[in-house]
Amino acid sequence: MPKRNKGLYYFLGFLAVLIIEICIAVFVQGGFIRSYLGDFLVAIMLYCGLMSFTKLPVIESLIAVLGFSILVEIIQGLGILEMLPLPQGKLIKTITGERFDILDILMYFLGIVLCGFIEYKRVQSYFKPSMKS
């Protein structure tokens, strides 16, 4: 991917995953997709969003998104969100989550691993010799 368009590609990825997340929130009532696939995708969405607006290195960005995701999950577990003066509507609960679940952390981790794998393959493709003679 050309450097000048890198941010645009990440932003388009962010928008695509955001649309999927909104569809899950609106149309899926429960089960694996809502409970776990959404967390997997949110890690990817946050990574793409971060990469579209910053020039952070890949590893630092992956770690930052995973750390942020785990922090939000810990805050849920400690009940801090209920203590904050936030509106307690459905939208806030959908965005922040409602309860601590260790499997959510696993899903964030797997989403970040996928991002790292894609980045590795992308960089690796730059160094492959050309097959043209």
Question: Model confidence at 85, in pLDDT bands (50, 70, 90)?
Answer: confident
Tokens of 49: 């969003």
Q: Answer yes or no: is 79 within a domain.
A: yes
| Domain membership of residue 44 as a residue range | 3-126
Q: Answer yes or no: is 131 within a domain.
A: no
CB 6 within 8 A of CB 53: no
Q: Answer yes or no: is 49 within a domain.
A: yes
Q: How far apart are CA 119 and CA 77, in angstroms?
A: 32
* Neighbour-count burial of 19, counting CB atoms closer than 10 A to its CB (0-12 exposed, 13-18 middle, 19+ buried): exposed
User: Which secondary structure element, helix H or strand E, spans residue 117, and what is its range?
Assistant: helix 102-126
Q: Answer yes or no: is 103 within a domain.
A: yes
**Total structural domains in the chain?**
1
Mean pLDDT of the chain: 87
Note the pLDDT tens digit of each residue in 50-67: 999 999 999 999 999 999
Tokens of 65: 């998104």
Query: Please, where are the H alpha helices in 28-132?
Result: 31-32, 38-53, 58-78, 80-83, 90-96, 102-126
Q: Answer yes or no: is 132 within a domain.
A: no
Q: Answer yes or no: is 106 within a domain.
A: yes
pTM: 0.84
CB 65 within 8 A of CB 39: no
Q: Answer yes or no: is 9 within a domain.
A: yes
- If one counts every other C-beta atom within 10 angstroms of the C-beta of residue 17, the result is 20
Mean pLDDT over residues 96-125, rounded? 90
Q: Answer yes or no: is 57 within a domain.
A: yes
